[in-house]
Chains A and B, each alone.
Chain A
């Protein structure tokens, strides 16, 4: 289901039929709420299912992208820029990296907070393949990056598989919502309820500018 389709269903339900041109809720607002609700549902589903069976992370919520590898002139590190922050829950759904033409070379994620500790404990040299970590860089270039260590100069692109937290800087309403099919109904319901609560204001029965309707 695409964002466009989901938004239309929500709007039609809110409008109780065809959506008039002057309908107060705009499509963009629905996109925004859909985007906020989707990660919450993934998180809820994660705790309901993944914790019961640790293999239950649905592969359909992953997105695979091919991205260019950059070399930082200042520190000599290699990094790839992610389109958005990856969704990581309890250490699962870490972005997975592979060569574009070879999926079977090991790229191992190490938490950036523990890199130094593992290096001092002589653990990093035991890891086969390449080591990478995630970093959110804020400043002139505000980016979500995967930083690689000891990558060869000849590597120009890498394939990255991640669960995306979509934001509006590169939002496409025709793209599919990265959510399990069985959660789509819940997503629409939750989004609809969000607008419903907003629209369904209660009449002030005792006109004294106080929220005291239920006081008897």
Chain B
């Protein structure tokens, strides 16, 4: 679902009214917030993404004042985000010293693959690979032209060399070289965090995405590399206006995407693109309404245009948006369960 912001819509109002200096843009945004609040009452809720400081004493963060419901949550580790799962059983009243450790569950098997590393140009290329998940990319091997090397690695080997080379996965590790490592969930989580901090991708993830429009104290952050909750690398629970985390690598920040009640002070409010014309016509109507020089008929025309746009935006459209948001939540929960 593509989105826009109140600022972008207000800019369009300025353009349509010939306000070259955008001097009234703040006023239009003010009207837009009223429109968003009205849409909120009709079932639509704008979505916000914010980064929150984690209180180390309780391993929790205070929710924004406009928070209604979460969409997704991620722990920020070394400027990357690891999505977390919701866990309603997380106890938030434990003493601090008993609070943080993640659950001890069944050991997890980490599979090792066999890789052929080759180069077809003169010179030596150094590859890094992983034999122990506690030390991702901890091993190094040199490869020269005409002498391919074979390694067993948990992660895909990597190199910084610009020389031509190839990395081929040729299946399971043969004979004695097969190493199957068993990690507890805590160890796996720790190794995932180490992986992230060393710019490697933890085993078990086959995709990532960029999390956009994250605000930190009102300042827009750049897009952040995010690993989705394919596995369960940690849990969170929301209770009493705070978000609680249990994760051995819960850094100092958590990133939260949530449904807002429309009166956010955390950053720009994201509006689904379908709502743009409705909010734009609301801004034009309110602007005409408060301008004493306008005739009553003009104000009425603006209002009718707003009502027309609002009617075009049927309840089905609104519900489709709500449903798609719901699907997003279900998808993450479902995927995480498979991982476990």
Q: Could you list which residues of chain A lie within 8 angstroms of chain B, going by C-beta atoms?
A: 53-55, 57, 91-94, 96, 108-111, 114, 118, 121-128, 150
- Residues on the B chain within 8 Å of A92, using CB: 19-21, 23
- Residues on the B chain within 8 Å of A93, using CB: 21
Q: How far is the CA of A39 from the CA of B268 in the complex (A)?
A: 39
Contact yes or no, A111 B7, CB < 8 A: no
Q: How far is the CA of A127 from the CA of B26 in the complex (A)?
A: 7
Contact yes or no, B26 A91, CB < 8 A: no
Q: Is the interface of B mostly helix, strand, loop or mixed?
A: loop
Contact yes or no, B23 A127, CB < 8 A: no
* A–B Cβ pairs within 8 angstroms, 8 of them: A54-B17, A92-B23, A94-B22, A108-B25, A111-B23, A125-B267, A126-B32, A126-B33
Q: How far is the CA of A96 from the CA of B23 in the complex (A)?
A: 11
- Residues on the A chain within 8 Å of B169, using CB: none
- Residues on the B chain within 8 Å of A128, using CB: 5, 7-8, 220, 268
Q: Could you list which residues of chain B lie within 8 angstroms of chain A, going by C-beta atoms?
A: 5-8, 17-26, 29-30, 32-33, 215, 218-220, 263-269
CB nearest neighbor in B for A56: B18
Contact yes or no, A127 B29, CB < 8 A: yes
Task: Tell me, rounded to whole Å, the shortest Cβ–Cβ distance linking A148 to chain B.
Answer: 14
Q: Is the interface of A mostly helix, strand, loop or mixed?
A: loop
Contact yes or no, A109 B22, CB < 8 A: yes
- Residues on the A chain within 8 Å of B19, using CB: 54, 91-92
Task: Tell me, rounded to whole Å, the shortest Cβ–Cβ distance linking B26 to chain A.
Answer: 5
Of A94, A118, A123, which is within 8 A of B23 by CB?
A: A94
Q: How far is the CA of A202 from the CA of B17 in the complex (A)?
A: 52
Of B7, B17, B20, B21, which is within 8 A of A126 by CB?
A: B7
Contact yes or no, A125 B265, CB < 8 A: yes
Contact yes or no, A55 B8, CB < 8 A: no
Contact yes or no, B268 A125, CB < 8 A: yes
CB nearest neighbor in A for B32: A126
Instruction: Known A110-B26, A118-B26, A128-B5; judge A123-B21 contact (CB<8 A).
Output: no
Of A53, A108, A109, A122, which is within 8 A of B265 by CB?
A: A122
Q: How far is the CA of A57 from the CA of B23 in the complex (A)?
A: 15
- Residues on the A chain within 8 Å of B265, using CB: 122, 125
Pick the 7 closest A-B CB pairs, nearest first.
A54-B18, A94-B21, A91-B23, A122-B265, A128-B7, A125-B218, A126-B29
